Chains A and B, each alone.
Chain A
Amino acid sequence: LAKTTQPISMDSYEGQEVNITCSHNNIATNDYITWYQQFPSQGPRFIIQGYKTKVTNEVASLFIPADRKSSTLSLPRVSLSDTAVYYCLVGDGAGGKLIFGQGTELSVKP
Chain B
Amino acid sequence: DAGVTQSPTHLIKTRGQQVTLRCSPKSGHDTVSWYQQALGQGPQFIFQYYEEEERQRGNFPDRFSGHQFPNYSSELNVNALLLGDSALYLCASNSRRDTGNTIYFGEGSWLTVV
Residues in chain B near residue A101, CB distance under 8 A: 42
Once bound together, how far apart are the Cα atoms of A92 and B101, in whole Å?
7
| Residues 64-100 of B contacting A (Cβ, < 8 Å) | 88, 90, 92, 94, 96, 100
Residues in chain B near residue A96, CB distance under 8 A: 31-33, 45, 48, 50, 55-56, 92, 94, 101, 103
Residues in chain B near residue A97, CB distance under 8 A: 33, 45, 48, 56, 58
- Contact: A46 with B104, CB < 8 Å? yes
Complex A-B: 28 CB contacts under 8 Å: A32-B100, A32-B101, A41-B110, A43-B105, A44-B43, A44-B105, A87-B42, A92-B101, A93-B100, A94-B31, A94-B94, A94-B96, A94-B101, A95-B56, A96-B33, A96-B45, A96-B48, A97-B56, A98-B33, A98-B35, A98-B45, A98-B92, A98-B103, A99-B45, A100-B42, A100-B43, A100-B44, A102-B42
B residues bordering A, Cβ < 8 Å? 4, 31-33, 35, 41-45, 48, 50, 55-56, 58, 88, 90, 92, 94, 96, 100-108, 110
